[in-house]
Amino acid sequence: MSETLRPVIGQAIAIFIALALGTVVIMVVGESPILVFATLLEGAFGSTERIAGTLLQTTPILVCGIAACISFRGGLFNIGVEGQLFMGGFAAVIVGIYLPLPAGLHMLVGILVAMLAGMAWIAIPAFFRARYNANEVVSTILSNYVAVLLTSYFTIFLFKRPGGWSETAPILPSAYLPELFSFSRLNWGLIIGLALAVAVQLYFRHTSRGYSVSIMGQNLKFAEYGGVDIKRHIFLVLLASGAVGGLAGGIEALGVHHRFMEGFAPGFGFDGVIAALLANGNPIGTIGAALFFGALRSGSLLLEVDTNASREIITVIQALIILSVSAQILMRRRGDSTAAERRWKF
Amino acid sequence: MSHAVELRGIVKRFGTFVANDCVDLVVKAGEIHAIVGENGAGKTTLMNVLFGLLQPDGGEILIDGKPIVVANPRAAIAAGLGMVHQHFKLVPSLTVAENVFLGMERGRAGFVDHKAQIAETERLSRDFGLKVDPTEQVGLLSVGIEQRIEILKVLARGARIIILDEPTAVLTPQESRELFQTLRGFVAQGMTVIFITHHLEEVMAVSDTVTVLRLGRKVDTRPTADVTKNDLVQMMVGRSVSFDRRQREPSTGGTVLSVKDLWCRDDRGLPAVRGVSFDVRAGEVVGIAGVAGNGQTELAEVLSGLRPASHGTFRIHGEDLTAASPRRIRDTGVAHVPGDRVVRGVDRQSSIAANILMGRQDTPPWARGSLIDWAVVRERSSEMMERFDVRASGPDALVKSLSGGNMQKVVLAREFSHDADFLLVDQPTRGVDIGATESIHNEIMRQRADGRAILLISVQLDELIALADRILVMFNGLIMGELPGDSVSEEALGLLMAGVQTGPDRAAVA
Amino acid sequence: MAADVKVAAISGYFAQGFGQSIVAGLNKAKDDFGVEVKLIDTGNRALDYEEQFNNVAKDGEYDLVFVMGWELVDALTKAAEAYPDQRFIFIDGVLDSDKIVYADFSEEEGSFVTGAFASLMAAKGSAIDGLGDGKSIGFVGGRDIPVIRNFLRGYEQGAKAAAPDVAVDAVFAGTFDDPAKGSELTMALYGEGNDIVYNVAGPTGEGVLQASAAADKYSIGVDIDQCDVAPGHVMASMLKRGDIAVYSLIKDEVEGRTVKPGTYSFDLKSGGVELLMCPQTIDMVPEDVKSKVSELRDAVINGDIKITE
Ligand SMILES: Nc1ncnc2c1ncn2[C@@H]1O[C@H](COP(=O)(O)OP(=O)(O)OP(=O)(O)O)[C@@H](O)[C@H]1O
Ligand SMILES: [Mg+2]
C-alpha cells in the first residue's frame, strides 16, 4: 500500500465503522436505517436545489477547514476558527452597512476586512504561542467564546436593527457576494473556497515558505536546525489561518445572510476543524470531507421532516465519525512515537 | 544446547524490494549472538519480524523449539522476547519509572501506584547494574541513560531473550564496556542476547556466535572464536577496510572558528559548557573527545545557534556570531551534522529530496524566486545519494523507510554538500557500517584537503585518532587538555576523559 | 373528516418553557381529534432555516404549520411568499405579512394581574413570612426587547393599580441562556429590598427561581407552570397558554372553521393568559389579596381598565 493511500483508506474505514455504529443507533431508536440513509441522500442530492443547498452548507465548512489545515501544516492547532468566523462575519457586515463604496469594490473591501478581523482575532494567541510557547489550543478555544459573545453583545447593544430581533441592519447590496444561481443562496464563496484549497495545496508543495512551514509542522527541531525562523513562522502561520477563518465569516455575511445576527453560523468552525482533521491536514482532501459534512447537514434537514428520526441522529453519527477517526489517527501514529509526541499531542 | 530462537526461511518484502530473502537463523539458548552487515542489509528488518513489528511474507519462527506466530510485539513479549530499538521510543514528558512501566502500569484500583513503580525500577536498576534515577524526566536525560531505560523496560516485561539493535552506536567506549558487562550478566543468569552492531571489535570481544547478513541474505553463522575481524569484513563488504590514521599534509590555513571563554546551560538550566576557548583553522580537523554528556552536544548546539551562550563569544572569520540565529550562522558558512539524527537531523515523514532541500529552500538553483524547483531538487538529491552511497529506491523514498545508517548518510550528504567553510560534525559515523564509515572518513579528509575547518565531535576514539590533527578532551564542561592527533594513545585520552589532569600547569579538577 | 388534518410545528424551543406548552397543546389535539403532528426542531443555525421551511411546505402535506421564534421571521416571510397556499401560524407576535396567521398573546394583561398580585403581597410587609418592608417588587427580563418590555409595562401598571406605593425595580440579564446571571441579579434585587421577583427570562429565569429558594425569598414564574422549580418560593406563575392557543386553532380547523391569515388574540378573557397561584404557597395569600386580584382581573376583561402603551 502506498504511503499516501494508507491514511485515505484508514479514514474511509473509520467513516465506515462510524456509519455502521450509526446504523445500530438508528435501529435502537426504532427507525429503518435504509429509510434514514435514503432520505439523507435524497435531502442532500435529490434535486438541483438540494445539491445547491448541500454546497451552501459545504462552503463555510470548507473555508474553515482550510483555515485549520493551514495551522495543522505548521504543526499548530487553530481551534479558534469558529471565533475568527464570527469576528470576520461581523466586521464584513459593519463594512457592508457603513462604508458605502462602488459595487464590487465594496464587496472586496468587506472580504478583506473580514480577513483582517480574523487575523486580528488570532493575533494574541499567535503572539503568545510564538513568543512564550503558550499552548495555542487552549487560547484559541477560549477566544471562540469571547468572539461569539462579543459579536452578540455588539449586535444587541450597539448595532441592533430598530424593532427587530437580535440582528443588525442589512448590508448595502453593493457589498453582496454574488449568488451563482437564481434558485439558491449558493454564492461565489464556494468558488473562493475551492480555489483556495488548490492554492494552499500548491503553496505548501511548491514555495520555499510553504516547504519550511510543512517541515516545521512535522519536525520542529529539524526545521529550527535547518535555519527556519521558528517564532516568525509560527506567528505567520497562525495569522494566515486566522485570516482564512475570518474569510469564512465574510463569505457567510456578504454571500448568504447579508447581516449579522445571533445564530450567525454556529458550529461551522468546529466542523471545519474536524473536516481538516479527517483530511489529515490536506486542503484538497478537506474539500471531500467538507462536502461529506455538508451533505450530512443538509440531508438531515429533510430527515427530520420525512422520517421519525431526529436530526440529532446526525449529531450522533458525526460524533462517532470524530471518535473513530481520532482513534484511527492515534493508532497510525503510535507506530511512530516521535511523530505522535510531536503533532497530535493535545 | 537447545535453540532459544530459530528462524526458517524468513522473507520480507517492501513493495518489490526484498529486505530479507529466505533468512535462516539459529540462536542457542544462553549465548550472545552478534548480527553484522552493511547498512540496509536487513538486520533491523529481521529483528522486527522476530519481534512481531513486521509480518513476514514467508518463513517460520520457533521460540524455544516451538513454532509460534508473532502477530504483534505483545505476542513476542509473551513468548519471552524483548527488544531495544535502534531509535528509542521513550516519552520525553514522563519520568524514568513511568516510561519503564508504560502500557503495563503497576496500580491499585485503577490508579497508578507510582511508589511501587519507582521501587521496582530501583530494584531492576540495582540487580542488573543499570544506574538510573527513576523519578527524573526522560526528556532531560542523555542518550546513554535513555538506553538504560529501554533495557529496563524490556527487563520489567520479563524478557528472557533480549534483542538490542545497535546498542553501542550511542555509547562511549566506557559505557559500551559497562553494557557488555550487563549483557554477560544476562547470559550468566540463563538469558539469551541477540545484538546488532557495526563494531567488529565488539563482536570479537563479547559474542559467542556471529551471523553476517548481506543484501538481505544470510552469508554465514560462525562461532566467534573461529573467525577474525578481517574474515567478517570480507563477508560483509567483499573487500578489506582500513581504519588506520590517515596520511595528511600539515594544515597551514588561517583561523576560521575562534571560541573565547564560552559558557552555556543545559536543558535543566545547569552549566553544561564552562568556559572553553579554542580555534579551528582552515584545512584542519580538530577532534573533541569525551564521555557523552560532558558538554560536547551543548557546545555544538551553541556553535550552530540552537542554544544561547550564557557568556563568552565565538567568531567565524572574525565575525561575532554568538547571538546569531541558526539561519545567519548557516549563511556565514557553517554546516552541521547533529549528534541525534532522528530528532534534529532529518524529518522522517518527508522524502529524501525534501530532507536534502533543508537549508537551501531559498537558494538558486534549488528555488527560483520563491518557488521550489522540485525537478532540480530531485536531480541533485539523486546525485548526492549516489556520491554518499545512500541505498534507497530513489529521492522520493520517505526517510522513515531507510535503514539507520542510510538515514545518517542523508544527513551527511546534505551537510557536506553545503559550500561551508566550517563543518561542525557530531558523531558522523554513528550507526554507519564499516564500508560506509571508511567512505565518510575519506569524505572528511577530502573536505579537509579542500581547506575547510572541521570540528569533529566523536565518542569513537579510533575515529578521532584516524582523523584529527589535534584532539581536545572535554570533561564536565571544561577542556581538560589538548593532544596532538599523530602521537596520542587511547590511555592518555582515557585519563583526560575521566577528568584526570595531565599538564603540569593545570590544577586538578575533581 | 377530522383524521386527515395534519399539522407541523417549527421551532428551536420545544424543550423550553413556552415551547413545551405548545407541544402539550399539539399532543392534546392529537389525542382529541386524531390529527397528525410533526415537530421540526430548527436548532440554532440561521443557514438551515430556509431549507427547513421548504422541506415542510414542499408537498403541501400539512394543513397548518405553527412557527415559533423570532429568529425564524425572515425565513417564514420568504416561505409565506413562496408557498402562498400553505398556512403558517406565527405564535406570539404579529408581523407585516398579510399571508400569515398570527397567534398573539396579551402578555401585558397577564403581567398586569401578576403585578397586582405581587405588589399586594409586598404591601403586606412583614405580616407574611420572609417579606420585608414592602417598598418595591422586582423584575428580571431576559433581554431588553419589545416583547419583554410589554411584560414589564403590564407588570408596572398592575402594581400601580393595586398598591400605588409599591415601586417596581426592573433589570435585564442581556441573555435568555444564563441561569447563573439570573441568580446573581436576583440576589442583588433581594439585597435592595425587593422580596418578590418576577422572571421573564427563559432559562435565565430558572436562576431567578432558584435564587428565591437559596435566599428564602419569593419569585414568580412565567409562560408555564413553574411552581415546582422552587416549591414554596415560587408564589405564582403567569401562564401564557400556548397549549390553549394551539389547541383552539386546531379545533377551529377540525370543526370546519377554517383558520385564515390574520390575527387571533389570546388574552385574559379567552384564557390564553392567566395567573396561577402556586398550591404550595396559596395558603399564605390573604383573602383580601385574592379578591382584589380577581377584581382587577375582571376589570381588565370588562375593559374597565385599559393597559396603556
Ligand atoms: N517500511 C519500509 N518501507 C520500505 N523499505 C524499507 C522499510 N523498512 C526498511 N526498508 C528497507 O529495507 C532495507 C533493510 O533495512 P534495515 O532497516 O533492515 O537495514 P539494517 O540492516 O538494519 O541497516 P542499518 O545498519 O543501516 O540499520 C533497507 O534498504 C531499507 O531501506
Ligand atoms: Mg538497522
Q: Give the DSSP H or E segment for B13.
A: strand B3-14
Confidence of residue B16 (pLDDT cuts 50, 70, 90): confident
Pocket test for ligand 1, best of B11, B14, B87, B396 (most atoms within 8 A of CB): B14
Pocket test for ligand 1, best of B48, B194, B403, B408 (most atoms within 8 A of CB): B403
Mean pLDDT of the A143-157 span? 91
Handedness of CA C158, C160, C164, C166 (dihedral sign): positive
Same-domain pairing of C62 and C177: no
Residue C214 resides in a domain: yes
Range list of H helices, B51-113: 73-78, 96-100
Q: Do B354 and A215 touch (CB under 8 A)?
A: yes
Same-domain pairing of C83 and C216: no
The number of residues in chain A equals 346
Mean pLDDT of the A145-162 span? 87
Same-domain pairing of B11 and B87: yes
Residue B97 resides in a domain: yes
Going by C-alpha positions, the residue among A229, A295, A222, A230 that lies closest to residue A62 is A295
Taking the mean position of all CA atoms in its chain, how far away is CA C301? 18
Domain span at C95: 6-105+242-266
* Close Cβ partners of C67 (under 8 Å, ≥ 6 residues apart): C9, C10, C11, C76, C88, C89, C90, C91
Chains A and C touch (3+ CB pairs under 8 A): yes
Same-domain pairing of C225 and C258: no
Going by C-alpha positions, the residue among B295, B315, B306 that lies closest to residue B336 is B306
Q: Do A261 and C71 touch (CB under 8 A)?
A: yes
Q: Partners for A (CB, 8 Å, 3+ pairs)?
A: B, C
Contact, B206 vs B36, CB < 8 A? no
Same-domain pairing of C38 and C178: no
Asked if pLDDT for residue B91 goes beyond 60, the answer is yes
- B70 grid coordinates: 508473532
**Contacting residues of B for A212, CB less than 8 Å apart:** 361
Asked if pLDDT for residue B493 goes beyond 90, the answer is no
Confidence of residue A332 (pLDDT cuts 50, 70, 90): low
CA of B211 to the centre of ligand 2 (A): 15
Same-domain pairing of C84 and C162: no
Q: What is the pLDDT of residue A346?
A: 25
Same-domain pairing of B283 and B320: yes
pLDDT digits (tens, 9 = 90+) for A239-252: 999 999 999 999 99
Same-domain pairing of C124 and C262: no
Interface test with B, best of A73, A222, A344 (most B CBs within 10 A): A222
Give CA–CA dist C307/B187, Å, rounded: 100
Mean pLDDT of the B235-241 span? 81
Contact, A246 vs A268, CB < 8 A? no
Mean pLDDT of the B310-330 span? 94
B44 lines ligand 1 (CB under 6 A): yes
Burial of C162 (0-12, 13-18, 19+ CB in 10 A): buried
* Close Cβ partners of C78 (under 8 Å, ≥ 6 residues apart): C50, C53
Mean pLDDT of the B243-256 span? 83
Give CA–CA dist A169/A173, Å, rounded: 12
Residue C209 resides in a domain: yes
Same-domain pairing of C32 and C67: yes
Same-domain pairing of B264 and B232: no
- Name the residue type at position A196: L
Domain span at B79: 3-237
Rounded mean pLDDT of chain B?
89
pLDDT digits (tens, 9 = 90+) for B359-371: 999 988 999 989 9
pLDDT digits (tens, 9 = 90+) for A295-324: 988 998 898 888 877 777 778 887 887 788
Give CA–CA dist B97/B104, Å, rounded: 11
**Ligand number with the minimum distance to the CA of B20:** 1
DSSP A176: P
Q: What share of chain C is helix, strand, coil (3-state, %, to 5)?
A: 45, 20, 30
* Close Cβ partners of A229 (under 8 Å, ≥ 6 residues apart): B325, B327
Same-domain pairing of B224 and B318: no
Torsion of CA B176, B178, B180, B183, to 10 degrees: -130
Q: Do A261 and C50 touch (CB under 8 A)?
A: no
Contact, A166 vs A155, CB < 8 A? yes
B338 lines ligand 1 (CB under 6 A): no
Single out the residue in B237, B268, B300 at which a domain terminates.
Answer: B237
Confidence of residue A262 (pLDDT cuts 50, 70, 90): confident
Q: Do A301 and C38 touch (CB under 8 A)?
A: no
Residue B423 resides in a domain: yes
CA distance A263 to chain C (A): 5
Residue C309 resides in a domain: no
DSSP A168: B
Instruction: Give me the tens of pLDDT residue by residue for chain C, a chain 309 residues long.
Output: 445 899 999 998 888 778 888 999 999 999 999 999 999 988 888 889 999 999 999 888 899 999 998 889 989 999 999 999 999 999 988 888 899 999 999 999 999 999 999 999 998 887 777 777 778 999 999 888 888 999 999 999 999 999 999 999 999 998 887 889 999 999 999 999 898 999 999 888 999 999 999 999 999 999 888 999 999 999 999 998 999 999 999 999 999 899 999 999 899 998 999 999 999 999 989 999 999 999 999 999 999 999 887
Q: Which residue has the cell 445564530?
A: A263
Same-domain pairing of C174 and C261: no
Give the closest residue (by CA) to ligand 1 atom 3.
Answer: B401
User: Residue A266: closest CA among chain C residues belongs to which residue?
Assistant: C45
CA distance A208 to chain B (A): 5
Which residue ranges form the domains of chain A, and what is each CATH number? 5-341 (1.10.3470)
Same-domain pairing of C141 and C225: yes
Asked if pLDDT for residue A336 goes beyond 50, the answer is no
Going by C-alpha positions, the residue among C214, C182, C184 that lies closest to residue C198 is C182
Confidence of residue A30 (pLDDT cuts 50, 70, 90): confident
Mean pLDDT of the B256-282 span? 93
Asked if pLDDT for residue A202 goes beyond 80, the answer is yes
Burial of B308 (0-12, 13-18, 19+ CB in 10 A): exposed
Q: What is the pLDDT of residue A79?
A: 94
What is the domain count for chain B? 2
The number of residues in chain B equals 510
Q: What is the pLDDT of residue B170?
A: 72
Residue B245 resides in a domain: no
Give CA–CA dist B418/B330, Å, rounded: 9
Query: What are B475's strand-pairing partners?
Result: B478
Residue C1 resides in a domain: no
Give CA–CA dist B45/C295, Å, rounded: 95
- C101 grid coordinates: 396567521
Count CA atoms within 13 Å of residue B339 on its CB side: 24
Q: What is the pLDDT of residue C149?
A: 92
Q: What is the pLDDT of residue A131?
A: 92
Same-domain pairing of B145 and B199: yes
Residue C117 resides in a domain: yes
Range in A196-200, B212-216, B505-509, C6-10 the model is least confident about: B505-509
A residues 143-202 lying closer than 8 A (beta carbon) to C: 153, 156-157, 163-166, 185
CA of B302 to the centre of ligand 1 (A): 33
What CATH number should be reported for the domain holding residue B115? Answer: 3.40.50.300
Q: What is the pLDDT of residue A83?
A: 96
Residue C307 resides in a domain: no
pLDDT digits (tens, 9 = 90+) for B458-468: 988 889 999 99
What CATH number should be reported for the domain holding residue C139? Answer: 3.40.50.2300
Give CA–CA dist A78/A238, Å, rounded: 7
Burial of A114 (0-12, 13-18, 19+ CB in 10 A): buried
Q: What is the pLDDT of residue C2?
A: 45
Q: What is the pLDDT of residue B31?
A: 95
Buried (b) or exposed (e) across C132-141, using 16+ Cβ within 10 A?
A: eebbbbbbbb
Q: What is the pLDDT of residue A166?
A: 77
Q: What is the pLDDT of residue B506?
A: 44
How many helical (H) and strand (E) elements, i.e. helices and strands, does chain A have?
A: 14, 0
Rounded mean pLDDT of chain A?
88
Range in A11-15, A100-104, B356-360 the model is least confident about: A11-15
Going by C-alpha positions, the residue among B449, B451, B473 that lies closest to residue B461 is B473
B409 lines ligand 1 (CB under 6 A): no
Asked if pLDDT for residue A164 goes beyond 70, the answer is no
Other Cβ atoms less than 10 A from the Cβ of B359: the count is 22
Same-domain pairing of C287 and C183: yes
Q: What is the pLDDT of residue A4?
A: 57
Give the closest residue (by CA) to ligand 1 atom 2.
Answer: B401
User: Residue B345: closest CA among chain A residues belongs to which residue?
Assistant: A222
Residue B190 resides in a domain: yes
CA distance B399 to chain A (A): 12
Q: Partners for B (CB, 8 Å, 3+ pairs)?
A: A
Same-domain pairing of C88 and C163: no
Residue B13 resides in a domain: yes
What is the domain count for chain C? 2
CA of B391 to the centre of ligand 1 (A): 9
Residue C169 resides in a domain: yes
Residue B7 resides in a domain: yes
Confidence of residue B501 (pLDDT cuts 50, 70, 90): low
Residue B475 resides in a domain: yes
Q: Which residue has the cell 455502521?
A: A20
Give CA–CA dist A302/A42, Å, rounded: 8
Give CA–CA dist A238/C180, Å, rounded: 34
Same-domain pairing of B274 and B329: yes
Residue B105 resides in a domain: yes
Between A34 and A341, residue with greater pLDDT? A34
Residue B39 CA: which ligand 1 atom is closest?
Answer: 26
Mean pLDDT of the B22-51 span? 94
Residue C273 resides in a domain: no
Give CA–CA dist B340/A69, Å, rounded: 30
What whole-number percentage of chain A has pLDDT above 90? 65
C residues 70-99 lying closer than 8 A (beta carbon) to A: 70-71, 73
Q: What is the pLDDT of residue B291?
A: 78
Between B290 and A70, residue with greater pLDDT? A70
Same-domain pairing of C167 and C295: yes
Does residue C92 come out as left (phi exceeding 0), alpha (psi in the -120 to 50 range) or beta?
Answer: left
Range in A162-171, B501-510, C35-44 the model is least confident about: B501-510
Confidence of residue A338 (pLDDT cuts 50, 70, 90): very low
Q: Give the DSSP H or E segment for C240.
A: strand C234-240
Q: Kindly state whether A293 is in contact with chain C, defined as any CB-CB distance less than 8 angstroms.
A: no
Between A267 and A194, residue with greater pLDDT? A194
B407 lines ligand 1 (CB under 6 A): no
